[in-house]
């Protein structure tokens, strides 16, 4: 079974600084996908970024980028120029490349605090 | 326009009652999911439907019964509610493709069983 581990229950960063959230996963599959979701106090699950395992290039979305190390099964999220609105719980998730009904397996989450 | 919506947002009820949560998506997706987020914020898949067909059924008590009347709707009915059912329930949807599709989540339904 696939597992996802986020070893940092809490992180904090100063506004405008950069922070990196860690995620490791365990799988024997070669075709899979990785996601970072953000959950602010409103509880809404918001997709931040996604990475296809077959792509060597790291995904980026504006201030958000990932460091995907397939051999090490590591998928960290870097947030640059942190803003107060980035404060949230961040979840790393793994999805298998199945042709139907791919469940997401989530990590335990990292609570990010942004200090003004 | 809300992409994935759930009703109600909050549900407070007594042990032993039966309750339903409704989910609707207007994204044209063909796959819908129910996830449960427990008090420690851990998210876990419960069910998934593709074109109204049940395709994922995790180890969930029989008291939980999903129903998908059409591709755009997935409801969750819970019988004989127990204290341990208190959680946030998220509906999600995606479009089945050859590769992993991105799942979009609803706002969640916070269920509190007293």
Instruction: Please write the tens of the pLDDT for every residue from B51-107.
Output: 888 888 887 899 999 999 999 999 999 999 999 999 999 999 988 765 667 899 999
Higher pLDDT, B19 or B60: B19
Given an 8 Å threshold on Cβ–Cβ distance, is A100 in contact with B98? no
A7 exposure class (CB count in 10 Å sphere: 0-12, 13-18, 19+): exposed
Per-domain residue ranges of chain A: 3-115
Nearest to B60 by CA among B48, B74, B46, B77: B46
Supply A69's token pair. 């190390």
Per-domain residue ranges of chain B: 4-113
Q: Is B59 on the interface with A (CB under 8 A)?
A: no
What single DSSP character describes residue B63? T
Average pLDDT, chain B: 91
Could you identify the residue written with the tokens 């949807």?
B93
Mean pLDDT of B29-35: 92
pLDDT of residue B47: 92
Given an 8 Å threshold on Cβ–Cβ distance, is A106 in contact with B33? no
Q: How far is CA A26 from CA A110, B9, B58, in A?
A: 18, 34, 20
Given an 8 Å threshold on Cβ–Cβ distance, is A97 in contact with B100? yes
Q: From the candidates A43, A44, A91, A107, which should be mutated to test the interface with B, based on the most B CB atoms within 10 A?
A: A43
Percent of chain B with pLDDT over 70: 95
Could you identify the residue written with the tokens 């947030």?
A79
Given an 8 Å threshold on Cβ–Cβ distance, is A96 in contact with B48? no
- Chain B CB contacts of A106 under 8 Å are 42-44
pLDDT of residue B50: 86
Give just the sign of the alpha carbon dihedral A111, B1, B3, B4: positive
In degrees, rounded to 5, the angle at the alpha carbon of residue A91 between the alpha carbons of residues A40 and A19 is 80
pLDDT of residue B73: 95
- Chain B CB contacts of A45 under 8 Å are 90, 92, 105, 108
Q: Is B28 on the interface with A (CB under 8 A)?
A: no
- Chain B CB contacts of A88 under 8 Å are none
Q: What is the mean pLDDT of each run of 10 residues along chain A (116 residues)?
A: 91 97 92 93 94 91 96 97 97 79 89 97
- Chain B CB contacts of A35 under 8 Å are 102
pLDDT of residue B60: 86
CATH number of B4-113: 2.60.40.10
Q: From the candidates B8, B43, B90, which should be mutated to test the interface with A, based on the most A CB atoms within 10 A?
A: B43
Given an 8 Å threshold on Cβ–Cβ distance, is A44 in contact with B105? yes
State which fold the A3-115 domain adopts: Immunoglobulin-like (2.60.40)
Given an 8 Å threshold on Cβ–Cβ distance, is B105 in contact with A37? yes
**Rounded to whole angstroms, how far apart are CA atoms A46 and B106?**
9
- Chain B CB contacts of A101 under 8 Å are 31, 33, 48-50, 55-56, 96
């Amino acid at each position: 079974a696939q597992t996802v581990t986020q070893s940092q229950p809490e992180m904090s960063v100063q506004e405008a600084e950069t922070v990196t959230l860690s995620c490791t996963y365990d799988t024997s599959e070669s075709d899979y996908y990785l996601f970072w979701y953000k959950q602010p106090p409103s509880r809404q699950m918001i997709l931040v970024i996604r990475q296809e395992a077959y792509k060597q290039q790291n995904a980026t979305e504006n201030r958000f980028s990932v460091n995907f190390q397939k051999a090490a099964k590591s998928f960290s999220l870097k947030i640059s120029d942190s803003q107060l609105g980035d404060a949230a719980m961040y979840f790393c998730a793994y999805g298998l490349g199945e042709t139907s009904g791919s469940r997401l397996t989530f990590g335990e989450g990292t609570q990010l605090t942004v200090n003004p | 326009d809300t992409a994935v919506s759930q009703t109600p947002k909050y549900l407070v009820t007594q042990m032993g009652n039966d309750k339903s949560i409704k989910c609707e998506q207007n994204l044209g997706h063909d796959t819908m999911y129910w996830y449960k987020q427990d008090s420690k914020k851990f998210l876990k898949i419960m069910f998934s439907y593709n074109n109204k067909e049940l395709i994922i059924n995790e180890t969930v008590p029989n008291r939980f019964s999903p129903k998908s009347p059409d591709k755009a709707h997935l409801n969750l009915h819970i019988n004989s509610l127990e204290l341990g059912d208190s959680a946030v329930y998220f509906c999600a949807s995606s479009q089945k493709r050859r590769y992993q599709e991105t799942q979009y989540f609803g706002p969640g339904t916070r269920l509190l069983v007293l």
